[in-house]
């Protein structure tokens, strides 16, 4: 399935030493529509990003299962060990099967 | 017509009570599904969440598990559960030794004042637990956001 771009801010250190634990921060723009049917609200069908997979130089290093209990514009912080210069690929899966992807390069010295 | 609408009004609290009971059952079920008859030990988790939140639409939390994160001994999953949310299993993070540290942070929605549980599973079958009571002034189910 082809992936679509998505507005996201991915924060990584400008460079890291081999073996260093780096903190990755990700903020993605998404309403995380959770199908609330309350007085005064227009009911919208549920549409959330339910899975995030992160690969680093082709290998999966992190995965998150999201629920309607995650705030709109999901924010995430996690760590990974810098092994080699390579791309961190973030793939979000939305309800309905749409895939969104963003990449960030980690430079290892 | 009047009778019907009165019935409808009377039915509302019942429906609400039913919903929160369902959430509680779901919470217990979600907890059981993760624990699988293992008894969690307290400690080993530093769980940061504000004790009072003005707005339940976005509550910062962070979880740090004391683990060497080696191939032999590492955290494989961190779960966040909210007792009174319509979907009690809020998030699951899957980790590998490549994480280096068992440390995650995110922002969650909270329906009301309740108990938040963080569970950490290790590859050795040990489960760590940390529980925090939080007060939410304005729940996430009131307004969109």
pLDDT digits (tens, 9 = 90+) for A21-42: 999 999 999 999 988 777 777 7
Nearest to B98 among A36, A61, A68 (CB): A61
Segment A2-12 shows an average pLDDT of 92
Q: Which residue of B has its CA nearest to A42?
A: B144
Q: Is residue B145 situated within a structural domain?
A: no
Listed as ranges, residues in chain B with pLDDT below 70 are 1-25, 142-145
Q: Is B130 left (phi over 0), alpha (psi -120 to 50) or beta?
A: beta
ipTM summary value: 0.92
At residue B11, the 3 state secondary structure works out as: helix
pLDDT more than 70, % of chain A: 99
Residue range of the domain that includes B129: 2-138
Domain count, chain B: 1
Distance CA A62, CA A89 (A): 10
- Mind listing the domains of chain A with CATH numbers? 3-32+48-106 (2.60.40.10)
User: Using a CB-CB distance cutoff of 8 angstroms, which residues of chain B are in contact with residue A108?
Assistant: none
Interface contact flag, B141 A65, Cβ < 8 Å: no
Q: Is A67 on the interface with B (CB under 8 A)?
A: yes
Domain of B32: which CATH number?
A: 2.60.40.2470
User: Using a CB-CB distance cutoff of 8 angstroms, which residues of chain A are in contact with residue B98?
Assistant: 56, 59, 61, 80-81, 83
Burial classification of residue B4, based on how many CB atoms lie within 10 Å of its CB (0-12 exposed, 13-18 middle, 19 or more buried): exposed
């Amino acid at each position: 399935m082809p992936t679509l771009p998505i507005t996201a801010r991915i924060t990584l250190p400008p460079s890291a030493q081999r073996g260093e634990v780096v903190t990755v921060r990700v903020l993605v723009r998404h309403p995380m529509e959770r199908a609330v049917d309350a007085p005064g609200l227009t009911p919208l069908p549920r549409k959330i990003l339910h899975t995030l997979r992160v690969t680093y130089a082709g290998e999966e290093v992190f995965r998150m299962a999201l629920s309607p209990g995650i705030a709109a514009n999901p924010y995430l912080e996690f760590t990974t060990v810098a092994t080699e210069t390579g791309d961190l690929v973030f793939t979000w899966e939305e309800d309905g099967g749409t895939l969104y992807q963003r990449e960030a390069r980690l430079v290892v010295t | 017509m009047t009778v019907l609408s009165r019935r409808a009004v009377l039915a509302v609290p019942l429906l609400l009570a039913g919903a929160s009971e369902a959430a509680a059952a779901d919470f217990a079920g979600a907890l059981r599904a993760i624990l699988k008859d293992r008894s969690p030990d307290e400690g080993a988790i530093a769980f940061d969440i504000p004790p009072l939140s003005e707005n339940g639409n976005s509550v910062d939390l962070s979880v740090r598990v004391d683990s060497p994160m080696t191939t032999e001994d590492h955290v494989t999953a961190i779960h966040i559960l909210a007792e009174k949310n319509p979907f009690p299993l809020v998030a699951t993070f899957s980790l590998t030794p490549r994480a280096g540290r068992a440390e995650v942070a995110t922002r969650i929605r909270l329906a009301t004042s309740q108990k938040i549980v963080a569970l950490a599973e290790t590859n050795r079958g040990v489960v760590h637990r940390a529980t925090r009571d939080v007060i939410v002034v304005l729940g996430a189910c009131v307004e969109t956001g």
